[in-house]
Amino acid sequence: MIARRQLLSAAAFGAGALFVSPSLALATVPTERRFVFIIQRGAADGLDVLRPTGDPAFAALRGGLIGDPAGTKLDAMFTLHPSLVEVGRMYGQGQALFVHAVASPYRDRSHFDGQNVLETGGTQPYAVRDGWLNRLVAMLPRASDEAIAIAPTVPAALRGSVQVASFAPSALPHAADDLMARVAALYDADPQLHPVWQAALETKGLAADAAAGQDPASLGRLTASFLTKPNGPRIAMLETLGWDTHSAQKGRLANQLKNLDAMLAAMRDGMGTAWATTTVLVATEFGRTAAVNGTGGTDHGTGSVAMLVGGAVKGGRVVADWPGLANGSLYQARDLRPTIALDTLIAGAAAESLALDPERVGRGLFAQATSARPMTGLIRA
Amino acid sequence: MSQPTGPSPAAIALNRFGLGARPDEALPSDPQRWLTDQFTHFDVRPAGFAALEDAGKAVAQYREAQQANRRLAMQATPAPEGAADAKSGLKAERKDFRQDVQELYRAGVQARADSALATEAPFVERMVHFWSNHFCISADNPRVTAFAAAFERDAIRPHVLGSFTDMMLAVEHHPAMLIYLNQVQSIGPDSPAAARNPDRKRGLNENLAREIMELHTLGVRSGYTQADVTEFARAMTGWSVDGLGGGRAAMGDPDGFAFRPAQHEPGVRTILGKRYAQDGEGQARAALLDFAHAPATATHVATKLARHFAGDEPAPALVARLADSFTSSKGHLPDVYRTLIASPEPWLPTAAKFKTPWEWTISSLRGVGHRAIGDIQIATLQTQLGQRVWKPGAPAGWDDVAASWAGSDALLRRVEIAQRLAAPLGERVDARVIAPKIMPALSAATASQIARSESPAGAIALMLVSPDFLRR
């Protein structure tokens, strides 16, 4: 854990610290670099994912949610949830980094508004029309076929001016060639359907030998199989649901994290040597209340945790400007107070992962939030 | 490419307001009248829905079997074999219950599809689907799954031609909603029930209270605060399901609502600046009635209705007109529907909406002449298309905009499913004859591709995924 006053220096791993590193070229992306965004829909409880067991107020607030074993102790302050076995291993190998007490600019408690802010990069819900991940794709030299959503439809973060593909495993029999060809002809003159159909055909080609399972590990392997194709996409997004733990959180979150852990491990294994140049960002729309509610769960809160995992990550550390959980330190006397802007993490991680200029990426992705500079030193050069 | 002329008002009535034209159906001569006439012959409780097994009974049986096994387990200690028996008994019961509720769910989905295919009031059926999505539950755990079909049948269908307030009250009292959004577990922190058993540390759960304000009534960003949500959650405590919960409370009928005074947080509540002094069930009810009549609710509902019929970005004038109608009629839904039907915006002859998977499936089946679902497994089909019936996964329900449905993978799935739906029809259905009857504005390009298809089934599939048919 990195204390409040040390945050600046701790972030200064790379040359230039919080300033632009001169060695980063503009939009000349070596194609071996990969960036994956996993969204946790439903507000994942950061205080349970990465537990501040060193905070004197934690036990009283959360004792009932801590199971046995109590998790992997990362440092004097933080303990990783016991379900995150593989992520813990990656942390030990310097391939996982956590950013705690983080939040998007959103300060209310609607999932859908919160996800919209997280995915569009706006400061208000529905203020920005396209997604930050789509704008990131647009910064790549070969933008047109660089991104894929592992989902039946494209999530808001990936929607925008660049046509991207989506793919979800299906057990349906493939359509006949004649039908496919005639459909292509029918959509040819349709401005909405033509690009969508082109993306469908390209993805279908890439997926020809992909695994068809829909469990988290299969989805992780499937993502890796797309990302390692020579002409495949270099940016992917996955959605995970089920983080809204209003009741019986102990069992439910353990299961959610086990699934996430399996997904990440399968992705790592599937990437092979390409894992070394891969960054996976995991983030949620907001956190949950500091105290346990009346039903063994937690309600909608504010600050949460985000993770970076991957061979490219300068990991093995927790970045936090820890606000504390004492009564007077909580946001609105109820939530973990956010002290780091998620925008700055996303912009920095995305830029460094793809060897783009963090300042430029920060402006392009989060134009409305002009105050904070992207975090740097997150990714190996 | 020839420029297609837009669909006629009659075709719009059938496809945009209705659930899709049938090949043997004459175009309505007075489209607006055809829609309003449906108010008099809507079947509130069609046979399929009426025949469903009783969800509460399934839950009660499960509860009793579990209790029997728990007694067995307690008697059996310390004998380890007995305990193991009880444990495996519990496990077997759980599995049986899961299977029972899956059966109930599938039968319910079939009933829903059946009534959408058979109905002579397709506009009203569409409104059932609309409200069921507005006030949605998500059947993601067995107890909610058990009640999913009953929820639409008993809380939505009887009120689709009644008042918004009545529908909302039925929804918020229904076991499906009370279980889904954790209301049955919410207990006033200073209530007698909490005081009686301080070690259990039971207390408030604000999930349902928040979603009522955000999604069911006022709408997000309409000015309420976290304090309002918490206060309303306190007012809601005690709202529960008869026959659920521990002890004596569990002996009642799980189909029914129960107010549990012992769990209710005592005291006066202040919500949105108004004091609610009522003691007991009436407190939350009074707040709910105020929400239902608030201008924010009228705007929220009007926006969703306008979006459903006049495009993803509906004209503000239409929203305002619908909101006025909602307010002046005190939420009398047929009045609001009449305002919608009388408005020019939903009748514009450009395809307003990209069909959701459910809309596309139903219109496809109607389009090729199905009047009953038969042995087509509609629940599986909807899962493959990405819109699982009564399982949107979140209390906001399914999105009603093209961007959520017109993805590349989703489109590929429709093509694959169209092929499968078309395969058994073969020679019996001639797409060249049907297409002009069911398409709002069949383009020459589509007609020619259909005519040149290499097989009759291929032609049907092509018709169902043509740009003309994917939109309404």
Q: Across the interface, which of B207, B413, B445 has its CB nearest the CB of A186? A: B445
| Residue A277 · residue A312 · CB < 8 Å | yes
For residue A341, what pLDDT band results from cuts at 50, 70 and 90? very high
Please indicate if any CB of chain B lies within 8 Å of the CB of A313.
no
| Position B374 pLDDT exceeds 80 | yes
Greater model confidence, A168 or B276: B276
Q: Which two tokens stand for residue B393?
A: 């996964």
CA angle (B15 as vertex; B105, B7 as ends), nearest 5: 165
pLDDT computed for residue A153 by the predictor: 79
Residues 9-28 of A with CB under 8 A from B: none
Q: Across the interface, which of B187, B386, B416 has its CB nearest the CB of A152? A: B386
Find chain A residues with C-beta within 8 A of B408's C-beta.
Answer: 154, 165-167, 196-197, 199-200, 203
SS percent in chain A: helix, strand, coil, step 5 = 35, 15, 45
Q: What is the dihedral of CA B60, B65, B66, B72, to 10 degrees?
A: 150
CA distance linking residue A18 with residue A11, whole number of Å: 7
- Backbone φ and ψ for B322, nearest 5 degrees, come out as -65, -40
Give the Å distances, CA to CA, from A42 to A20, A51, A163, B361: 34, 19, 27, 29
For residue A143, what pLDDT band results from cuts at 50, 70 and 90? low
- Backbone φ and ψ for B205, nearest 5 degrees, come out as -130, 120
pLDDT computed for residue B26 by the predictor: 92
pLDDT computed for residue A209 by the predictor: 61
CB–CB of B384 and A172 under 8 A? yes
Enumerate the H helices of B161-225 as residue ranges.
Answer: 164-173, 175-180, 192-196, 207-211
Q: Across the interface, which of A173, A244, A332 has its CB nearest the CB of B420? A: A173
Q: Across the interface, which of B187, B394, B454 has its CB nearest the CB of A178? A: B454
| Position A4 pLDDT exceeds 70 | no
A1-5, A338-342, B18-22, B90-94: least confidently modelled range: A1-5
Q: Across the interface, which of B194, B408, B453 has its CB nearest the CB of A182? A: B453
| Position B197 pLDDT exceeds 70 | yes
pLDDT per residue as tens digits for the range A268-281? 999 999 999 999 99
pLDDT average, residue stretch A334-359: 96
Quick one: which of A309, A196, A61, A72 has its CA closest to B407? A196
Enumerate the H helices of B316-372 as residue ranges.
Answer: 316-328, 333-342, 357-367
Enumerate the H helices of B333-465 as residue ranges.
Answer: 333-342, 357-367, 378-384, 408-422, 431-438, 444-451, 456-464
Q: Across the interface, which of B204, B417, B418 has its CB nearest the CB of A294? A: B204
Greater model confidence, A333 or B424: A333
CA distance linking residue B327 with residue B339, whole number of Å: 12
> First CA to last CA across chain A, in angstroms?
23
Please tell me the distance in Å from B444's CA to the nearest CA on chain A. Answer: 11
Quick one: which of A129, A135, A163 has its CA closest to A149? A163
pTM higher than 0.80 for the full model?
yes
pLDDT computed for residue B42 by the predictor: 97
| Position B6 pLDDT exceeds 60 | yes
| Position A29 pLDDT exceeds 60 | no
pLDDT average, residue stretch A237-244: 92
Please indicate if any CB of chain B lies within 8 Å of the CB of A3.
no
Please tell me the distance in Å from A49's CA to the nearest CA on chain B. Answer: 21
Whole-number percent of chain A with pLDDT over 90: 70
CA distance linking residue B71 with residue B68, whole number of Å: 5
- The tokens 């599809």 sit on which residue? B113
Residue A103: is it exposed, middle or buried by C-beta count within 10 angstroms (0-12/13-18/19+)? buried
Which residues have C-beta within 8 Å of that of residue B69, sequence separation ≥ 6? Answer: B86, B89, B90, B93
Q: How far is CA B140 from the centre of its chain?
A: 14
Find chain A residues with C-beta within 8 A of B407's C-beta.
Answer: 149, 151-154, 166, 196
Residues 185-224 of A with CB under 8 A from B: 185-187, 189-190, 192-193, 196-197, 199-200, 203-204
Going by the DSSP 8-state scheme, the letter that residue A376 receives in this structure is -
CA distance linking residue B4 with residue B187, whole number of Å: 60
Residue of A nearest to B1 (CA): A189
Pairing of strands A304-309, A317-320: unpaired
CB–CB of B187 and A294 under 8 A? yes
| Position A180 pLDDT exceeds 50 | yes
pLDDT per residue as tens digits for the range A95-129? 999 999 999 999 999 998 999 999 999 999 988 98
| Position A5 pLDDT exceeds 70 | no
Pairing of strands A317-320, A96-103: parallel
> Strand, helix or coil at B353?
coil
Find chain A residues with C-beta within 8 A of B201's C-beta.
Answer: 64, 292, 294
| Residue A152 · residue B413 · CB < 8 Å | yes
Find chain B residues with C-beta within 8 A of A240's C-beta.
Answer: none
pLDDT per residue as tens digits for the range A49-80? 999 999 999 999 998 898 887 899 999 999 99
Find chain B residues with C-beta within 8 A of A179's C-beta.
Answer: 415, 419, 453, 458, 461-462
Please tell me the distance in Å from A173's CA to the nearest CA on chain B. Answer: 7
Q: Which long-range contacts (CB under 8 A, 24 or more apart) does A227-233 make?
A: A227/A34, A227/A36, A227/A271, A227/A274, A227/A278, A228/A270, A228/A271, A228/A272, A228/A274, A231/A145, A231/A206, A232/A148, A232/A206, A233/A145, A233/A146, A233/A147, A233/A148, A233/A164, A233/A165
For residue B202, what pLDDT band results from cuts at 50, 70 and 90? confident
